[in-house]
Structure 1
Amino acid sequence: MKIYTKTGDKGTTSLVYGQRVRKDDLRVEAYGTCDEANSMIGLALSYLSGEKFQGKETIEAAYHKIQTILFHVGAELATPAGKEVKWKLESKEIEEMETLIDEWDKNLPALTNFVLPGGHPSGAAFHSARTIARRAERCSVGLEGEVNPLVLAYLNRLSDLLFVTARYVNFQLGAVEKTLHQD
């Protein structure tokens, strides 16, 4: 398979089933933003290489599955309205993330203020992935009624999980969690 096709040189790209759309189409923006979030998750995980802490293996396994699902969410967003989606998101994927959120959050100090993104490079990258997932969600809202409604819920819950993961990683690795400056 060739990496370059030259078919997008004039500002269009193909959706699933071959329909051509402009690269600034909302659908392309939505699935492209999912791809950005997926890449940032990969970066966050790469920063954990060589680190040792309780729950690391669980995080890595959970995010391997999440990255795969996020790839499929992007494919759902890349499928034109009215066309069959080859892999369809189910509510169990959202429930699994909720279980992880509850499990990791119960081990963290209670929130008493807004947390500033940062900490260990992995924690900071998970915070960044959270903001990208939120943008993917905002883009996808414009496709409501044209895509599986679980896509919006998945992206919303993913951003929650990424926030808790950032806090959990920072906590486990002893990174100080900074909060808003109070005068």
Structure 2
Amino acid sequence: MGNRLSKIYTRTGDDGTTGLADGSRVAKSAWRIEAMGTADELNSHVGMLVELLPPADEARTLLQRIQHHLFDLGGEFAIPGSALIGQAHIDWLEQELDRLNAPLPPLKNFILPGGSPAAAQAHLARSVCRRAERIVVGLAAEEENNPLGRMYLNRLSDFLFVLARSLARRDGAREVLWEQELGRF
């Protein structure tokens, strides 16, 4: 690949628009741009989680692959009409989710974000993932896009929840259980 970003600032976005990969320009407040930005934000949170894990950690390897998926998902939003996320991505995520969830005890309470630094970061990524999914639903209401991207985000938020539970246990921490009485005065 050649040198693609020789100049970082272009001033073309100073009017409140940004360019898509197909050459068209849209408002920076458009659903498509929100989707791109939130996929990028999610990828950054996943990257932070990666850096909280030891180099040889299996979860680190899974998350690095997910980062590539998220970059491709952002590419879908940058190129109207493209589809880079497919059923194989969802199938892979479901398989890994099921494998991570199998040794965990059944849920009997709601879980609050926390447990360990890595588990808390997984919860943060999960909440950003849910927002990304909501934005993609908004985008789909305005213009057609790949529905498998939305489905991928839905599974990914579940994966991140299960990963948070798994990381809390791995780190020797207790999951933070919601206690109804603590919310009352």
Normalising to structure 2: TM-score of the pair? 0.89
- 1:2, distance to aligned residue in structure 2 (A): 1.8
Query: What RMSD, in angstroms, separates the aligned Cα atoms of the two structures?
Result: 1.5
| The one of 146, 151, 154 aligned to 2:152 | 154
Matching residue of 1:70: 70
- Runs of 4+ deviating beyond 6 Å: none
Alignment deviations for residues 82-108 of structure 1 (CA, whole Å, 9 cap, x no partner): x4x2x6211011111111111111111
SS across alignment from 2:46:
helix
Aligned residue-pair number? 174
Matching residue of 2:11: 6
Alignment deviations for residues 43-77 of structure 1 (CA, whole Å, 9 cap, x no partner): 11111247xxxxx6321111111100111111112
RCO higher in structure (CA 8 A, sep ≥6): 1
Matching residue of 2:21: 16
Matching residue of 1:57: 57
Structure 2 gap segments, 5+ residues each: 1-5
- 1:132, distance to aligned residue in structure 2 (A): 0.6
Matching residue of 2:110: 114
Deviating more after overlay: 161-170 vs 1-10: 1-10
Residue 94 (str. 1) matches residue 99 (str. 2)? no
**Seq. identity, %:** 45
Matching residue of 2:44: 39
Q: Tell me the distance in 2 between the aligned counterparts of 1:71 and 1:152.
A: 14
